[in-house]
Amino acid sequence: MSKPKNQCSKTHGAPKVKERDQKVCIRFKCTVLNTLMDVLRHRPGWVEVKDEGEWDFYWCDVSWLRENFDHTYMDEHVRISHFRNHYELTRKNYMVKNLKRFRKQLEREVGKLEAAKCDFFPKTFELPSDYHLFVEEFRKTPGITWIMKPVARSQGKGIFLFRKLKDIMDWRKDVGRSDDQKDDIPVENYVAQRYIENPYLIGGRKFDLRVYVLVMSYIPLRAWLYRDGFVRFSNTRFTLSSIDDHYVHLTNVAVQKTSPDYDPEKGCKWMIQRFRQYLTSKHGPEMVETLFRDMDNIFIKSLQSVQKVIISDKHCFELYGYDILIDQDLKPWLLEVNASPSLAASSQEDYQLKTCLLEDTLHIVDMEARLTGKEKRVGGFDLMWNDGPVSREEEGIDTAGTGNFVANTHLGCNNDRKKQLRQLFCSFHSQKKVTS
Amino acid sequence: MLQEEEDLSLTIAQIVQKLKGSRLYAQLERQAWVSLQKPEIKLETLKEDIKEFFRITGWEKKLHNAVYSELTVFPLPRHPAAPPEHLKEPLVYMRKAQGSWEKRILKSLNSMCTELSIPLARKRPVVEQKELLNKWNEMGTDEPDLSLFRPVYAPKDFLEVLINLRNPNYENGEHLNFKTHLGLIQVPLKVKYISELKEFFVELSLNTGQLGIDDATQVPPELFENEHVRLGQKEPIHSMDSKTEVLAEQDSAAAQQYIRQGSPTALRAELWALILNVSNQPEDLLYYEQLKSNVIQHDLLVDSLIYKDVKLTASNDDYYFVFEDYLYQVLLCFSRDTAVLGHFAYNSASPPKSYIRGKLGMEDYAVFYPPNGVIPFHGFSMYVAPLCFLYHEPSKLYQIFREMYVRFFFRLHSISSHHSGIVSLCLLFETLLQTHLPQLFYHLREIGAQPLRISFKWMVRAFSGYLATDQLLLLWDRILGYNSLEILAVLAAAVFAFRAVNLMEVTSLAAAEAVLADLSTLKVMPLLQIFLFATVT
């Protein structure tokens, strides 16, 4: 039942209709037409609502959120797939600001060593506001390459590389010119970032990693890490001599799809398990463990840096797509965080991965109220942070301080999610039978 | 007794003969001279002291490994009066079949050459040489027009030849009886029964730990994995008992025994190098550079075939496309490596000959073509692709591939009676299936889907490109460990057994192919264990 607050508000999420045999009916709304739709439609007990109907669950896009979130009243059980001000983490300029501020805070409160753990993003300056700071840094280290990225665009659009200030002078002039002509077009914000010139190469090609992190709440911070992910390869061999060749440097599949070399049958992706095995056979297990631990650190620190800024609404959850680049010293760098990672599938394997990812996300969102809240693993997701680090060991043994702590993350490891889900839900079923 | 002693001394003499020309011999000699400077070497006990010196400094181990390598690769000599053809292949009808197959291949190659009017070999102009040198690390970006080239042959052509093999001395009989073999291969070769296979593969049995099974998530690592990894280690760990760490000891024979239970991912590259007796000497690097300069200077027709094969197979594979450039670097050099000609002494095949233009038939102007005597076929590059996962330095990758080829892979495309030859593998596969899954075999035969037609391509490629990479590497661990390819036939039969229920319901060859099209989710070791040790026979 909708209870209008005033003329322009809507309520969603009237009490669920319960059928006689205790099955719940969950109304969902979803605007994307791809893997997600398949998953939602196949979920038992979930019913799609169209247009203006009421919903209990909405996988919205960010533009809807911007326009409607503030005027929408949601019942307690309703869930929505974004946080109101997620852009604090996902827009490059805000993320940089938050991370810098967090780093300073850590330095003040804990010490230099802890603050150094935040050094996973290359030196970045927001333009045009930090232009002078940028020029100072630029002059300090001449000859290196910088990359210019528009703050709010995705899929590799608008990105270019440069080595000389002259190159961006020209660009500035262009931007300035259009500013004069049409005053209502705002100057787009860019970030200038130090380009990583020594990326790790496989088969002579550059690649980046896409990893999925699910955040259920910010206060307290609860984050889950998905075991699967993939490695996206650039279609052409890496060389610093051709910085105009977008295809060499940008690894988004969207850009690669337009490269003349691109063969859709080939697929430019590896599953992260394969990547982990490849590295292990080349460098040994210890170095690979260190690399993955450093990546855990990136996820946690980046979320902590926006923890106090993001409005933690209990209706919200968010599935982030992290883009990580690895350099030749096996150090991971954070490129960016995506609030709406692409859910379209580029191959059968990809479809499989995304379907399982979304199913497990919905298990954790738990509209069916099946979980106890004490789980450390659901399907392919491992609980990475629960208002504190989560250990692989059983509870009761507090090893966080003793150095024997092993984090409960299994990125790139075996994902026997079907088995785990069966065990998880079977035990609930039998518990329910006992209690009812 | 006397005969055995004679055989032994003959073997020793042959091995000594072979090693005398090798680099190891020169190094040992030099080391012996150097050791004379040392105070512990005394003139009265010169022989013993030098032996002791070799033992302490690890040279004895190297000699050990070299001898072991020779014994493994070269078959033992038979009767001293046996002609060299017998070493290649003792059965006459097999030799004849191989000879006529080779003639066909060469004819096909020559006719392609004439049709396209491309010479079999030509020297590159200097400009082209420079260009190729610049592009050496990214030859995959080249897009030459290969549409007119066709692979010289594909595995299914080879299968037809094998199907038509007949022993002229063997009377098959017109009437079907219980001894009739229902499969495609109709030659009477000895293959192992399942009881013999159980003995042969005893380390794969149910109560022995395996990597590929007992390192799965539910099994606590203390039970098997930790100990097995520790045993493989590089650094000697001092322990109470006399267990020695395989890599620390650098012993090929021990490594071969160890790897029967699988190799830990991090140690695999080194273990394989140890078993294949491939080391990183500066001479090897120089040799590779020499081959590379041969590639730069001369262009062979075979190169285009290699390009085409890589583009058709490895580049389209989801996992191996990344290694495209490495494949060219290895295969182009491989074609020019005359050291490979040595393996024809025990290979039933012989290198094809070609003649300098205008001098057809004159033996003085005959050369082997390609220089290594191996004409690539469709799918050849898949032998190299999985190795790129382990070795990243081109000359090491090259050596490992070459060694794998002259020990194992050549047997998969030449006609011989060897127990690891493709003919025996096919027969072993069919026999296992007919004996242990007779209903399935009969059903498939009735619907026109002879099982070998489906499994042949798996075996010819040693399952490369069909299994997931980590599973493939576990399988190849066992090939190295047992020094035999028979495991390929056993795995093929195990796959059919695994999917038997679905296969019983199909009604056509195409449907059967569809059931067996995707092997990428299979776990190799459990399948093998179940088939060998847990199936009721």
Which tens digit of pLDDT belongs to each residue from A166-182?
777 766 666 554 444 44
Q: Do A109 and A142 share a domain, yes or no?
A: no
Q: Do A302 and A370 share a domain, yes or no?
A: yes
Q: What is the predicted pLDDT for the residue at A240?
A: 67
Strand, helix or coil at B122?
Answer: strand
Q: Do A356 and A413 share a domain, yes or no?
A: yes
From A204, A237, A267, residue closest to B318, measured CB to CB = A267
pLDDT at A156 over 90: no
Q: What is the predicted pLDDT for the residue at A190?
A: 80
* Top-confidence residue, B194 or B238: B194
Strand, helix or coil at A256?
Answer: helix
Compute the distance between CA of residue A26 and CA of residue A23 in angstroms, rounded to an integer. Answer: 10
The predicted model gives B255-274 an average pLDDT of 89
Please state, as a whole number, how many other Cβ atoms lie within 10 Å of the Cβ of residue B46: 13
* Top-confidence residue, A427 or B30: B30
Interface contact flag, A266 B316, Cβ < 8 Å: yes
Best B143, B211, B217 residue to mutate vs chain A (most A CBs within 10 Å): B217
DSSP letter for each residue of B358-418: T-TT-GGGEEESSTTS----TTGGGGTGGGGGT--SHHHHHHHHHHHHHHTGGGGGS----
* Top-confidence residue, A392 or A431: A392
Backbone angles phi, psi at B309, to 5 degrees: -65, -45
Q: What is the predicted pLDDT for the residue at A58?
A: 87
Segments making up each domain of chain B, as ranges: 1-77, 209-271
Q: Establish if A65 belongs to a structural domain.
A: no
Q: Establish if A343 belongs to a structural domain.
A: yes
Q: What is the predicted pLDDT for the residue at A4?
A: 33
Is B326 at the interface with chain A, CB within 8 A?
Answer: yes
pTM score, whole prediction:
0.83
Is B316 at the interface with chain A, CB within 8 A?
Answer: yes
CATH number for the domain harbouring residue A355: 3.30.470.20
A284 to chain B: which residues are within 8 Å by CB? 266
pLDDT at A75 over 80: yes
Q: Do A283 and A329 share a domain, yes or no?
A: yes
State the pLDDT confidence band at B515, using cuts at 50, 70 and 90. Answer: very high
Q: Establish if A135 belongs to a structural domain.
A: yes
Percent of chain A with pLDDT over 90: 23
Q: What is the predicted pLDDT for the residue at A234?
A: 81
pLDDT at B456 over 90: yes
As for how many domains chain A has, the answer is: 2
The predicted model gives A196-207 an average pLDDT of 88
Q: What is the predicted pLDDT for the residue at A20?
A: 35
How close B206 comes to chain A (CA, Å)?
A: 23
How close B476 comes to chain A (CA, Å)?
A: 15
A263 to chain B: which residues are within 8 Å by CB? 316
Which tens digit of pLDDT belongs to each residue from B474-508?
999 999 999 999 999 999 999 999 999 999 999 99
State the pLDDT confidence band at A187, using cuts at 50, 70 and 90. Answer: low
Q: Establish if A312 belongs to a structural domain.
A: yes
Strand, helix or coil at B478?
Answer: helix
Q: Do A277 and A338 share a domain, yes or no?
A: yes
From A266, A282, A414, residue closest to B392, measured CB to CB = A282
Compute the distance between CA of residue B466 and CA of residue B391 in angstroms, rounded to an integer. Answer: 21
Backbone angles phi, psi at A24, to 5 degrees: -95, 155
The predicted model gives A106-130 an average pLDDT of 86
The helix (H) or strand (E) run that includes residue B121 is strand B121-123
The predicted model gives B155-159 an average pLDDT of 91
Poorest-pLDDT segment among A213-227, B311-325, B417-431, B474-488:
B311-325
State the pLDDT confidence band at B430, using cuts at 50, 70 and 90. Answer: very high
Interface contact flag, B266 A285, Cβ < 8 Å: yes
Q: What is the predicted pLDDT for the residue at B169?
A: 82
Poorest-pLDDT segment among A162-171, B105-114, B181-190:
A162-171
Poorest-pLDDT segment among B146-150, B163-167, B428-432:
B146-150
Q: Do A102 and A147 share a domain, yes or no?
A: no
Identify whether the C-beta of residue B497 lies closer than 8 Å to the C-beta of residue B535: yes
Which tens digit of pLDDT belongs to each residue from B338-388?
989 888 888 888 888 877 666 666 666 677 888 898 988 889 999 999 999
Average pLDDT of the residues of chain B: 84
Q: Do A208 and A162 share a domain, yes or no?
A: no
Q: What is the predicted pLDDT for the residue at B289?
A: 93
From A204, A285, A416, residue closest to B217, measured CB to CB = A416
Q: Do A318 and A356 share a domain, yes or no?
A: yes
Q: Which domain holds residue A150?
A: 123-171+188-195
Which tens digit of pLDDT belongs to each residue from B314-327?
888 878 888 988 99
CA distances from B273 to B27, B276, B330 (A): 20, 5, 17
pLDDT at B537 over 60: no
Q: What is the predicted pLDDT for the residue at A22?
A: 42
Q: Establish if A167 belongs to a structural domain.
A: yes
Q: What is the predicted pLDDT for the residue at A292?
A: 94
Q: Establish if A96 belongs to a structural domain.
A: yes
Q: Do A149 and A265 share a domain, yes or no?
A: no
The predicted model gives A412-416 an average pLDDT of 84
Q: Do A145 and A276 share a domain, yes or no?
A: no
Q: Do A267 and A356 share a domain, yes or no?
A: yes
Q: Do A240 and A220 share a domain, yes or no?
A: yes
The bridge status of strand A222-237 relative to strand A72-74 is: unpaired
Which tens digit of pLDDT belongs to each residue from A293-304?
999 999 999 999
